[in-house]
Amino acid sequence: MQEFTALANTLADEAGNIVRRYYRAPFDVESKADTSPVTIADREVEQRLREIIEKQRPEDGIIGEEFGTKESQNGLTWVLDPIDGTKSFVIGRPTFGTLVALCEEDKPILGIIDQAISKERWTGVKGKQTTFNGQPTKARPCQSVTQACVASTTPDMFKKTGPVYEKFERGSKMMSWGADCYAYGLLASGYCDIVVEASLSPYDFAALIPVVEGAGGKICDWNSDPLTLKSDGQVIALGDATLWDEVSELLK
């Protein structure tokens, strides 16, 4: 596993070097069909990370947001999101992150959330305690939704599911928007309690799973099923798993 962690750290380091070069620099932003901005940095990072993986571990599969899927020949697949939170990146806000995950078949066993500007990195490895910049970190207890700090990225995510977020806004202590992947790191370090999102892709959530679980939290789909590369993109993360019964009612 140590070999994989070392490679994942190399990937995040390389991504950071590129990301910092483009952050707040003037550049063209393309629009994809879903209108999320994709930057030159996004492509350059993914190309670089693919090169490194293909050189060091040619049999591993790769799933990336920009350049599609390379099939795995050994059951291991790297899942890359060069810049999760591209909108934040585009407006110059350091809450985006580079996500690197390694999956065994379709289950993530290693995940990194890296914020290259503030130089914050959460690393989760299956069966181990999550680290924040190399130091062990953990989620905090939270006994009820009324006491919970909730985060999500944008109400726009909930178009297909209906405005489920309104129940969290009404029922929780506070609701904060503009989450991006950064909020899952904050949850893993005990600063927020619930992240509720929808319309995510596997490269958006694969890396989050080992980070949240290794911090003692629960992360799953809205039916409490494990998230896999085949999940539908509805994601709920809880710093304290005992919130689930109450939260599951709000998700209905």
Question: Sign (positive/negative) of CA torsion 62, 10, 46, 202?
Answer: positive
Q: Tell me: does residue 2 bind a copy of itself (CB under 8 A).
A: no
**In sequence order, what are the beta bridge partners of 158?**
none
Report the residue number, 72 or 115, with the smaller CB distance to a copy of itself: 115
How far is the C-alpha of 234 from the C-alpha of 222, rounded, in Å? Answer: 6
Question: Sign (positive/negative) of CA torsion 51, 56, 59, 63?
Answer: negative
Helices 2-22, 40-56: inter-axial angle, 10-degree rounding: 150
How far is the C-alpha of 85 from the C-alpha of 245, rounded, in Å? Answer: 30
**Three-state secondary-structure class, residue 109:** strand
Q: Tell me: does residue 28 bind a copy of itself (CB under 8 A).
A: no
Q: Tell me: does residue 31 bind a copy of itself (CB under 8 A).
A: yes
Report the residue number, 26 or 68, with the smaller CB distance to a copy of itself: 26
Of residues 218, 182, 209, the one with CA closest to residue 104: 209
Q: Which of residues 155-184 bind a copy of itself (CB under 8 A)?
A: 155-156, 169, 173-179, 182-183
Q: Tell me: does residue 194 bind a copy of itself (CB under 8 A).
A: no
Q: Which of residues 201-230 bind a copy of itself (CB under 8 A)?
A: none
Provide the CA 222 distance to its chain's centre, in angstroms.
Answer: 16
Site string for a copy of itself, 102-141 (x = CB under 8 A): ---------------xx-----------------------
Query: Under rule CB under 8 A, how many of the chain's residues touch a copy of itself?
Result: 36
Task: Using CB under 8 A, list all residues that contact a copy of itself.
Answer: 24, 29, 31, 35-37, 87-88, 90-95, 117-118, 149, 151, 153-156, 169, 173-179, 182-183, 186, 189, 191-192
